[in-house]
Amino acid sequence: MHQSVGQTNFFYLLVALLLLLVAIPLADALDIVSAPLVRGLVFSGLLLVGVWSLKGGGRYFSVGMAFVVTGVALNVIAINSHSTIFQYTSSLALIGFLFVAIAFTLQQVAFGTEINANRLVGAICVYLLLGVIWALAYTLVHLISPGLFSGFSPTQGTGWDSEWLYFSFVTMTTLGYGDILPVSAMARALAYMQAVVGQFYIAVLVAGLVGAYVSKRNKH
């Protein structure tokens, strides 16, 4: 039995994502606390709020919870041990959870019958989740094989930071400032795939939902 759109409040997930996008750059810029600690707290907070948003989603909730438990545990170990292996696996756990969150949100956003503000917020959440997924993908590629990007100066020695979030969303919105450049075939493939997905998502889904929402309001 599928949960209806009205029963899932995507505003909480949106707030968690916005906090993620603000907290990581602040941790890098201010350097007033341990950046890995801030990342760990934000990481865990996003997982917990995200899995709570899957409440009532049946198998989505079960799978999401499995990723959350695994991801939080691996992230704690990574912070304490400074092991790149645990950084890889915790990032993969987060990516797995984000895919589950996207699948669940899209199920309600794309196939729901009621056009409302909550459904529009869900569509925005999917867009932000895609940006975070690609930021993590760039991180993993860089950790595995450094030198695939030029102009990148991470604030921390290893691990994902605000520059990957910045590059991800700049690429997805096709701004293309050129300060960070993919210089390998793999990095370039990730970049153009993100640009294509981001533009098609906005054109097909978000524009359609906004148009339907405005049309509904004009009828009343």
Q: Which residues pair with 182 in a beta bridge?
A: 149
Q: Report the pLDDT averaged over residues 189-204.
A: 90
Rounded to whole angstroms, the Cα distance separating 63 from 104 reads 11
Most confident of 80-89, 139-148, 179-188: 179-188
Q: Report the pLDDT averaged over residues 163-191.
A: 88
Q: What pTM did the predictor assign?
A: 0.81
The chain-wide mean pLDDT, for the chain, equals 77
Phi and psi at residue 154, to the nearest 5°: -60, 140
Rounded to whole angstroms, the Cα distance separating 85 from 220 reads 56
Question: Which pLDDT does position 47 carry in this prediction?
Answer: 72
Question: Which pLDDT does position 5 carry in this prediction?
Answer: 39
Per-residue tokens: 15: 């707030």
Give 17-29 pLDDT, tens digit per residue. 888 788 777 777 7
Pick the range with the lowest mean pLDDT from 51-55, 70-74, 141-145. 51-55
Phi and psi at residue 113, to the nearest 5°: -100, -20
The amino acid sitting at 64 is G
DSSP conformation letters of 107-124: HHHHH-S---HHHHHHHH
Question: Which pLDDT does position 54 carry in this prediction?
Answer: 72
Question: Which pLDDT does position 22 carry in this prediction?
Answer: 82
pLDDT of 159 > 50? The answer is no
Using CA atoms, how far residue 135 sits from 19, 30, 112, 140, 147, in Å, is 16, 21, 29, 9, 16
